[in-house]
Amino acid sequence: MSNAMEYIQYVNSLHDQKRFEELHWEGTFGEYLEIIQQNPGVLRNSFQRVYDMVMSYGTEEYIDSKKKIVRYNFFKDEPNNGRDAVFGLDISLMKLVSVLKSAAMSYGTEKRVILLHGPVGSSKSTICRLLKKGLEQYTRSPEGALYTYYWRVPREDGGEEKLTSPMHDDPILLVPLELRRPLLEKLGVRLKYPVQFNSSVNPACRYWYNHFMEKYRGDWAQTIQHIRVKRLVFSEKDRVGIGTFQPKDEKNQDSTELTGDINYRKIAEYGSESDPRAFNFDGEFNVANRGLIEFIEVLKLDVAFLYDLLGASQEHSIKPKKFAQTDIDEVIIGHTNEPEYRKLQSNEFMEALRDRTVKIDIPYITKLSEEVKIYRKDFNPQRIRGIHIAPHTLEVAAMWAILTRLEEPRKHELTLMQKLKLYDGKGLQGYTEDNIKELRKEATREGMEGISPRYVQDKISNALVSEKHEGSINPFLVLNELESGLKHHSLIGSDDLRKRYRELIAVVKQEYEDLAKNDVQRAISADEEAIQRLCANYVDNIKAYTQREKVKNKYTGQMEAPDERLMRSIEEKIEIAENRKDDFRREMMNYIGALAIEGKQFDYRSNERLHKALELKLFEDSKDSIRLTSLMSNVMDKEAQEKIDTVKARLIKHYGYDETSATDVLNYVASIFARGQVKEQRS
């Protein structure tokens, strides 16, 4: 028993009771007016609150194709360790936040339904989930605090009944409409946003307000004594401030799910269906008042529901059964896919909804580095224990997914893979930022079709649980899973499209060949001392060349002409043309000279192009001595084995491989070189 009490006390010591008391604060109406004086932000409407919530996380700015892009930190979902982080949709999110800002300033978009439109799996639901979750957390903070109230109604037995405002109304609505602005002026309140003070309390609260005003013969101060103000914290699970509506079978769903329904058990007690005490104001619009309501697959709604949606967006009011129009204040956000939206466009009876909708496209990602982040979030060493994911595995899966979403370039000299690299910020000779901007403009449907991240995630999962891997999955295992799943993919409508996707897998395999070769090349040429010697030799030669001097041969001691063959063998690795070699060599000497003036020593690592050229040259010089092709035979001498083991160790230490994947990539690259040798012999 003592142990049990000890555990209870332990849990209690971790529980923040002070925080609990803050979130469950109660006070008088007068105390609420003092809160307004200190923090006018409690009077914000739903759009203003959502916009401030997003902006409270801060922003970052960057330039993409000469365009300033704002990245909103809110969508990184850092409070939840990035579980619902949204990647690569910065432009779409900028449009969404712009709509929220416009609505916050009462410029018109507050009267619209925000419609997120895009293909399946493009993060529409995730964005809605983030907004709902963010609102819950924001209303728990001092900056996001808001308040509601309950009535203290005397009972016949002398006790008291607490009747909470069923729609979480703001206590300020209890002040007569014509007196609200004079009251705020008296309080000296300056509001950040324009606030429309023309809303009324819900029918249930109106009943009790009128009841007490009659009882006290119009004495508002006496009436307000029956009010207790309390802190309001949104919670989707408790159906407070957050609503979610999903279309179901028409026979089992009607519009009362949105606006509430009569409580037939209480009709006998109160005698009328139109008595607000006999009505449950618990529809999704009611519970989401002052917060946000999400409509899942909104365009699948029956017409009867759409009438309620139109009034809720344009007039900010709903019509519960047997009651007058009731004011609401909430962000209405829905999402839909392409086929449903096309039906909306072709349906003339839906014109009213189209007119009250702000459409925001949420396409698939078309930037490789952003797509990779999705898979790294789900498949990383912290989550995948006991199985190693070889380098480039997630990258090639993402590469294939993006290729399926891109439109073929109109410039025939540009390949789809080159286009992918340009979009990802990689340089390509002859293409400027203006060209990239032009490429994006001409491809109007890009990102709205193709393979979804969900399909790729499923196939990576298949590879992880497959018996084919030996503790390590590699790009080929995943690519094979992606390809084999195409025959059963329900969203691929034609054999031609299936064939195209298979062809793109072959393109990705070819690209992986270059990535694997590059890793092995870097591992072979990772001898720092050898690169340093090669660099020193190159610098000595270009110095002598540019100054028209001779260079000393360190072996013979003789003064000789600069080694043109050595210089060109390095420069050709980074595609320095013959007619550009003099310019390049002068640039290098000027760069080294500028460093010397600043008292700095030249380091080949500080020049990325030269570093790459030196590595490639060293690899070319070393590959024969390493003899990778010996891996293709069962016989290997001790010296060759030691060199291979050294390369393998570098792959493991510096490039993220494990024993199995390092062996696999070496065998794979060896087979590539073996094929190359066979081709050379045949030619």
Of 39, 33, 239, nearest to 145 by C-alpha is 39
Judge if 536 and 575 occupy the same domain.
Answer: yes
What is the predicted pLDDT for the residue at 679? Answer: 46
What is the predicted pLDDT for the residue at 151? Answer: 97
For the ranges 130-134, 211-215, 541-545, 573-577, the lowest mean pLDDT is seen at 573-577
190 contacts 169 by C-beta, under 8 angstroms:
no
Which has more pLDDT, 573 or 115?
115
What residues pair up with 336 in beta bridges, in sequence order? 117
Mean pLDDT of 35-50: 96
Which has more pLDDT, 507 or 618?
507
Q: How far apart are CA 388 and CA 656, in angstroms?
A: 10
292 contacts 242 by C-beta, under 8 angstroms:
yes
Token reading at 544 = 């002598």
pLDDT band at residue 41, thresholds of 50, 70 and 90?
Answer: very high
SS3 280: strand
Residue 239 inside a domain? The answer is: no
Q: How far apart are CA 368 and CA 416, in angstroms?
A: 13
Query: What DSSP designation does 407 have?
Result: P
Residue 90 inside a domain? The answer is: no
Q: Which of 472, 507, 542 is the last residue of a domain?
A: 507
Of 308, 297, 213, nearest to 259 by C-alpha is 308
SS3 161: strand
Of 659, 658, 627, nearest to 644 by C-alpha is 627
Q: How far apart are CA 192 and CA 469, in angstroms?
A: 59
Percent of the chain with pLDDT over 90: 54
For the ranges 166-180, 454-468, 505-519, 544-558, the lowest mean pLDDT is seen at 544-558
Residue 649 inside a domain? The answer is: no
Q: How far apart are CA 525 and CA 619, in angstroms?
A: 5
Token reading at 336 = 């839909």
What is the predicted pLDDT for the residue at 281? Answer: 95
Judge if 434 and 461 occupy the same domain.
Answer: yes
The amino acid occupying position 345 is: Q
Of 351, 358, 350, 282, nearest to 116 by C-alpha is 358
What is the predicted pLDDT for the residue at 342? Answer: 83
What's the predicted TM-score (pTM) here? 0.85
Q: How far apart are CA 582 and CA 565, in angstroms?
A: 14
Judge if 499 and 377 occupy the same domain.
Answer: yes
Cα-based angle 493, 497, 503 (whole degrees, multiple of 5): 150
pLDDT band at residue 327, thresholds of 50, 70 and 90?
Answer: very high
Residue 297 inside a domain? The answer is: no
What is the predicted pLDDT for the residue at 523? Answer: 84
Q: How far apart are CA 568 and CA 563, in angstroms?
A: 9
Residue 330 phi, psi dihedral angles, 5° rounding: -155, 155
Judge if 376 and 496 occupy the same domain.
Answer: yes
CA quadruple 156, 162, 167, 170: dihedral sign: positive
What is the predicted pLDDT for the residue at 683? Answer: 45
Token reading at 17 = 């009771």
Q: Which of 615, 646, 662 is the last residue of a domain?
A: 615
**pLDDT above 60 (res 595):** yes
- For residue 666, how many other CB atoms are within 10 A of its CB? 22
Of 564, 540, 542, nearest to 553 by C-alpha is 540
For the ranges 357-371, 489-503, 666-680, the lowest mean pLDDT is seen at 666-680
Task: Give tens-digit pLDDT for 236-270.
Answer: 999 999 999 988 766 667 778 999 999 988 998 88
Alpha carbons within 13 A on the beta-carbon side of 222 = 10
Judge if 481 and 585 occupy the same domain.
Answer: no
Judge if 456 and 568 occupy the same domain.
Answer: no
Residue 88 phi, psi dihedral angles, 5° rounding: 70, 10
- For residue 227, how many other CB atoms are within 10 A of its CB? 20
Judge if 436 and 398 occupy the same domain.
Answer: yes
Residue 349 inside a domain? The answer is: no
What is the predicted pLDDT for the residue at 349? Answer: 66
Provide the b/e sequence for 316-334 (b: ≥16 CB within 10 Å).
bbbbbeebeebbbbbbbbb
For the ranges 433-437, 480-484, 510-514, the lowest mean pLDDT is seen at 433-437
- For residue 400, how many other CB atoms are within 10 A of its CB? 25
Nearby residues of 424 by Cβ (< 8 Å), 6 or more positions away? 367, 368, 369
Total domains in the chain come to 2
Sheet of 242-245, strand order: 242-245, 292-295, 331-336, 113-117, 357-361
Residue 148 inside a domain? The answer is: no
Task: Give tens-digit pLDDT for 547-570.
Answer: 989 888 777 778 888 889 989 988
3-class DSSP string for 182-237: HHHHHHCCCCCCCCCCCCCCCHHHHHHHHHHHHHCCCCHHHHHCCEEEEEECCECC
What is the predicted pLDDT for the residue at 680? Answer: 46
Residue 26 phi, psi dihedral angles, 5° rounding: -135, 150
3-class DSSP string for 88-140: CCHHHHHHHHHHHHHHHCCCCHHHCEEEEECCCCCCHHHHHHHHHHHHHHHCC
- Its domain, for residue 443, covers 368-507
Task: Give tens-digit pLDDT for 611-635.
Answer: 888 878 877 776 655 555 555 555 5
Helix 495-524 to helix 608-626 angle (10° resolution) is: 80
Mean pLDDT of 660-667: 89
Judge if 499 and 536 occupy the same domain.
Answer: no
Strands 261-262 and 279-280 come out as: antiparallel
| Most confident by average pLDDT, 1-5, 449-453, 601-605 | 449-453
Which has more pLDDT, 99 or 337?
99
Judge if 462 and 582 occupy the same domain.
Answer: no
What is the predicted pLDDT for the residue at 140? Answer: 96
Judge if 583 and 610 occupy the same domain.
Answer: yes
Q: How far apart are CA 567 and CA 384, in angstroms?
A: 47
Q: What is the mean pLDDT of the chain?
A: 88
Task: Give tens-digit pLDDT for 221-230.
Answer: 999 999 999 9
Residue 604 inside a domain? The answer is: yes
What residues pair up with 148 in beta bridges, in sequence order? 230
Token reading at 595 = 């460093």
Could you tell me where the beta strands, DSSP code E, fall in 308-413?
317-318, 326-327, 331-336, 357-361, 388-389
Provide the b/e sequence for 541-554 (b: ≥16 CB within 10 Å).
bbbbbeeeeebeee
Q: Which of 571, 591, 615 is the last residue of a domain?
A: 615
Classify residue 669 as exposed, middle or buried by CB count within 10 Å of its CB (0-12, 13-18, 19+).
buried
pLDDT band at residue 574, thresholds of 50, 70 and 90?
Answer: confident
Q: Which residue has the tokens 């967006």?
A: 313
Give me Rg for the CA atoms of the chain. Answer: 34
Mean pLDDT of 414-421: 92
Residue 468 inside a domain? The answer is: yes
Nearby residues of 577 by Cβ (< 8 Å), 6 or more positions away? none
Task: Give tens-digit pLDDT for 63-108.
Answer: 887 789 999 999 999 999 899 999 999 999 999 999 999 999 999 9
Judge if 381 and 496 occupy the same domain.
Answer: yes
Q: How far apart are CA 332 and CA 220, in angstroms?
A: 34
SS3 237: coil
Judge if 547 and 477 occupy the same domain.
Answer: no
